[in-house]
Structure formats: C-alpha cells, structure tokens
Chain A
Amino acid sequence: MGTKNDLCIIALSTATRNGSAALCAPGSSKIVVDHFPEGLAHGREATPRLQGLLQSQGLSPSSLDLVAVDQGPGSYTGIRVGVATATALAFACEARVVGVPSLDLLAHGCPVTSDSLAVILDARRSQVHLGLYVQEEGSDPRRWTRTHPLEALDLEEARTRIPSSATLVGDGVSLLSPIRDEWKVADPALSIPSARILLDLGRRLQAEGKDQSPEEVRPLYLRPSEAELALRRRTSSPGK
C-alpha cells in the first residue's frame, strides 16, 4: 500500500454512514485520508470534502487522473451520491473512473489468514449481500480473489453458501447467528469501508486496465426496487 504512484487518484466511499475520502498525489506514496463524521450528510458534504483534500495537498481538480468510487451495495441514496459525485468529477476533469463493489473493498482490506473469506453485508428485509473469496493463486503479497457473483440472499441460504473455516467480515455477520464454530469472525473494525483501501484497490484495477469512462460506472444495488418486486409478485400471483 506504500507504492509510489504516477497518477493523481482520489477515492470516495459514501455507501454507509461511515463515509471517507482519500487522495494520493502523483509521485507520492502518501495517501491522505478524510474520515467523515459518522452520519454525515454525504449529499451536502461529499464535494466540499473532496475539495478540502485536494487543497490540503496544493492540488487543483484538473490534476486528477483517476477517481475510485465505492459502488455499493449499501444505502441507496449514499451510493448514488457517491457515484454521481465521482463520475461527474471525472467527467469534469477528463479523468477515468474505477467502480469498486463494497464487498470487494472490504475483502481487499482483510488480511489473508485463512483459506476463504465471506464478506457479509446487511441487506435489510432478512437478507444479506454475500461475497465469497479465496486466496489468489500465486499472489505476492497474498490477496483475495472473488469466486462467485455478488448476490442478495436470504439468511439461511447465505449460511449454506459459506465454506467451513471461512473468515467472516461485514456488518451482516451477526445476522447469521449462531456463528458456526469453524468460522472465524474478523475484527469488526474491518467491516467499515475505507477510502484508503479503495484508493489502493482502484490503483491496482487501473493498472490491470479495468478503469472506465464516467458513463460506464453505475451503482450496484444487487436487488430490484421494492416497487418492482411488488409488481412482479402481483403479476405472477394466481388469477392475474
């Protein structure tokens, strides 16, 4: 995470109440982070916070090469504010964007101390968002690689999907109680998305050619809206 960087990268995570932003100036290995006060109104404050970060390093927005953003899933409003803010900033500055799913972001921040990792986020309505990861073969330093598409699952279904001896992380872990003896629960501090880690992962994804234009990056909900679900139920019920 101390890699020297030729790009000016800014990262923004607003998918939860614990928002944060991070900046790495070109030619620097230092990542400057701004942890927003919990519950901050992201819609009002996200842009001024990004402005503050750039000003603190004597940089202007035109210096930006890459904007990394937490795509969710999470608070619907929070992820829209994040994606709208990040993509419009990239559009204005002719920068590229990297969208990172929240679950991949938490996985990237988790030390590789077991064979597998399950990232579990509270999806409300008795569901969780689940991401499953294993150690990436040959990676040095060791890192996680995702094995399945991200999904929103009922609690029981999620329990059956998680491998034995997995490490569990995320704010949805407690929803799967009782926790099986063979599972290991990670430090709860690792369940909070961090813009520092987002920036680091964004840089790696950009190096792998996974950066995108602003129009291509969208929020990740993993579930239709309640209205769409209700309409599907009505139209598929008998007699309709």
Chain B
Amino acid sequence: MSLVLGIETTCDETAASVVEDGIKVRSNVVRSQEDLHSPYFGVVPEIASRAHVELVIPVIRKALDDAGVSLSDLTAVAVANRPGLIGAILVGVSVAKSLAFGRELDLIGVNHVEAHVNAVRMEHEEARTGPLVGLVASGGHTSLYRSDEAILFDLLGSTVDDAAGEAFDKVAKILELSYPGGPIIDRLARDGNPKKYDFPRALLGRNSLDFSFSGLKTSVLYACKGMNARVSSPLLSDLNIGDVAASFQTAVVDVLVEKVSRAVAFTGVSRACVGGGVACNSHLRERLQIEGKAKGYSVFFPSPPLCADNAAMIAGLGAKLLEAGRVDPLTLDAFPTAR
C-alpha cells in the first residue's frame, strides 16, 4: 500500500491531502485565499505567497490528522512544482523537500494541470485506464490534453491569452460583481437571456485546438459600458446583468464544447473529461453531456472537491509517478510554466 502526501500551492489555494494507492482520498484539506484576493478582483502573487508560507504547515498537519496517519506512515511526498505563480510554488516545493529529507521519503514533482486530468481517473473507474481527452479550464489555465495512461500526457492546445476562468473573473469585475467571477456569473446566467448579446466565439481556425478569450472580454466591456469604455467606466443604465452573464457564459461554453469535440474527432478517443474550477460551471456540464451524447463520446467530471485546485489530485498523480519509478532528487525546482 502507498500513502502519498500531496501539497498544492501553485496559486491561491493552500492544500494538502493524503491519498492511498493513488485513488482513495484519505483527507483533502483546502484553505482558500479568496478573501485575501477579492479586493483586487484577481490573485495577487505576493499576497498569495505570503499566505502560503503561514498556512502550509497547519494545513499539512490537519491533512495528516484527518487521514489518521503520521509522517512516519507516509511513502512519499508529492508537490505541484509547475506551472503557476513561481513565488507561491516555491513555498510548497521548499516544504515538500524538507519533509522528504527529514523523514527520508520519496519526493515527486507533479504538473498541476496534468493532475487535474488525473482527478477524473481517481474518481471514475471507467476512466481509470486507457486514453482520455482532457480539458483543464481554470483561472490560470485552459489546456487540452490527450492522456493515454495516468502519467502520459500530450498537450493538444492551450490558451493564447486569458484562461477561461480568468475571463469569468474579468467579466465579473466589469459587471461590478464579486471575486471569483465563475460561481456568481453561473448563478446570474440562470435568469438571463443567452441570446441577448452575440458575443464573439474565437475558434482560431477550423483545425485549431487553442483558445482565446481576450476578445470576448473586450466585447463584453463595450456592451456593458459603451464603445472604447474602460473597466472603471460606469455601467450603461439600461443594462440587464443577467442577460450579459448568460450571453457571455454561453459564448465561453460554446468554445470549450467545440474544442473538446474537435479534440475527440482529431484523436479518435471516445472519452473526454473536464477538470479545473470552470468544470464546476453548471452550463458547461449540461452542454458537454448533451454534445457527447450527440457525437458518441462519454464525458467525465470530477466531484466538486476535486474540480477546483486541491492536493488530492497532486497526491494521486504523484502515486502513479512513484509506481513508474519517477522520483525526484532534493534539487527539485519550481517552474512557472509547464515545461
């Protein structure tokens, strides 16, 4: 039996988890920093790094307690060491290395985005082996992968500008809502008219699997505040925020669904999954299930605790890498990009 401690500090969640045999989540502790970043309508890297260093040991202690284990019971420490905010990642990596050194545990560096895809394999037995198309959409990433096995990932496409979740946050700021934007836009969109505004869907050519959301964000800005307006300009007086939210969300979901279907057609893989915070979006979930049924592919989503940033997915993928003998030295470094 393997017991892996996962540590996640790539953005604004300080998280730790203990996972048994790469699948069974024994504990999953997430300390969100949303309250710290909400006044800025986005994650402030320095504030995130400062919070991580204060929170990480208590969060790890709670993850061990919740799992009913001690450090001496562990097999390995897995840490998200890429991609993300470099100062934030360095906190998790420094802690993981000290724990591995201090307790003579194996150390495993994990790609945070790939771990989102593996979260689906952890929870869905039908998706545990064999190829998957994986969409990861969050505040920091929007990427499409082909994953033939738990530890094999081929990047098919990614965003050329804003991430999908970042677009939700920026539109929430334009609409003078709160941070993070995803949940509140999802809620407001339920009462809005998704056809009121014909916002652009940037598909970047017939065969592209990349994404772009910056033009959509600008289009929403002009629709809400007038042509060439700034984010700080006032909202137009007759604006229906629900209609804007519904039309914007539909535009984002149209693009995400189209790209997943393209990736399925391109790879010939008949199973798709979605991870990352945007995978919690109710409209995306409905639309992808309908689209998958119509086009003959099945779609898997992680449960909400494993959708957003968490350390269970880091420990889970870490366990798979450990099984494959992919252990890192104590010189393990942090990287802002996926490399």
- Contacts from A to B (Cβ < 8 Å): 41, 43-48, 50-51, 61-62, 64, 76-77, 80-81, 83-89, 91-93, 214-215, 218-219, 221, 225-228, 231
**Beta-carbon contact of B49 and A76 below 8 Å:** yes
Chain A interface helix/strand/loop/mixed: helix
Residue pair B333, A41 in contact (C-beta under 8 Å):
yes
Which of chain B's residues 94-118 have a Cβ closer than 8 Å to chain A?
94-99, 101-104
Q: Mark B182-204, 1 if CB is under 8 A from A, else 0.
A: 00000000000000000000000
The B contact surface, by secondary structure, is: helix
Closest 6 CB pairs of A and B: A92-B102, A88-B98, A84-B94, A88-B95, A89-B98, A225-B46
A84 and B50: CB pair below 8 A? no
A219 closest partner in B (C-beta)? B53
Number of B interface residues, CB 8 Å? 36
Given the known interface contacts A61-B101, A92-B103, the answer about A84 and B331 at a Cβ–Cβ threshold of 8 Å is no
Check A92–B98 contact: CB distance below 8 A.
yes
The answer to whether A80 touches B57, judged by C-beta atoms less than 8 angstroms apart, is no
Which of B44, B50, B61, B95 contacts A221 (CB under 8 A)? B50
Among candidates A45, A62, A76, A87, residue contacting B46 with C-beta atoms closer than 8 Å = A76
Q: How far is the CB of A78 from chain B (nearest CB, A)?
A: 10
Asked if A84 and B95 make an inter-chain contact with CB atoms under 8 angstroms apart, the answer reads: yes
Q: Are A61 and B330 in contact (CB under 8 A)?
A: no
Question: Which residues of chain B are near A64, meaning CB under 8 Å?
Answer: 102
CA distance A228 to B60 in the complex (A): 28
- A91 and B91 contact, CB distance less than 8 A: no
A83 and B97 contacting across the interface, CB-CB below 8 Å: no
A-side contacts of B96, CB under 8 Å: 88
Cα A161 to Cα B101 with chains together (Å): 45
**Neighbouring B residues of A47 by C-beta, 8 Å:** 94, 97-98, 101, 330
Q: Which of B44, B57, B94, B102 is within 8 Å of A93, CB to CB?
A: B102
Contacts A44-B331, A47-B330, A91-B57 hold; do A85 and B46 have CB atoms under 8 A apart? no
**Docked CA distance A59–B99 (Å):** 17
Bound Cα distance from A221 to B46, whole angstroms = 11
The residue in chain B whose Cβ has the minimal distance to the Cβ of A227 is B44
Known: A43-B93, A85-B94, A88-B94. A51 touches B87 (CB 8 A): no
Contact B47 A92 (CB under 8 A): no
In the complex, the answer to whether A85 meets B98 with C-beta atoms within 8 Å is yes
Check if B71 is an interface residue, CB within 8 A of chain A: yes
- In the assembled complex, the CB of B91 is this many whole angstroms from the nearest CB of chain A, namely 5
Chain B nearest CB: distance from A239 CB in Å? 13
Please tell me if the beta carbons of B94 and A92 are within 8 angstroms of each other in the complex.
no
Most chain B C-beta atoms within 10 Å of own C-beta, residue among A64, A77, A218:
A77
CB pair A76–B87 under 8 Å, yes or no, is yes
Residues of B within 8 A of A44 (CB): 331-333
Within the assembled complex, what's the spacing in Å between the Cα atoms of A85 and B93?
9
Residues of A within 8 A of B99 (CB): 88, 91-92
In angstroms, Cα B331 to Cα A47, docked, is 8
Least Cβ–Cβ distance between B15 and chain A, in angstroms: 15
A125 nearest CB across to chain B (Å):
14
* Segment 43-63 of B: residues with Cβ below 8 Å from A: 44, 46-47, 49-50, 52-54, 56-58, 60-61
Q: Are A51 and B330 in contact (CB under 8 A)?
A: yes
- What are 8 residue pairs bridging A and B, where the CB atoms are less than 8 Å apart in the complex? A44-B331, A61-B101, A61-B103, A84-B56, A84-B91, A85-B95, A92-B98, A219-B50
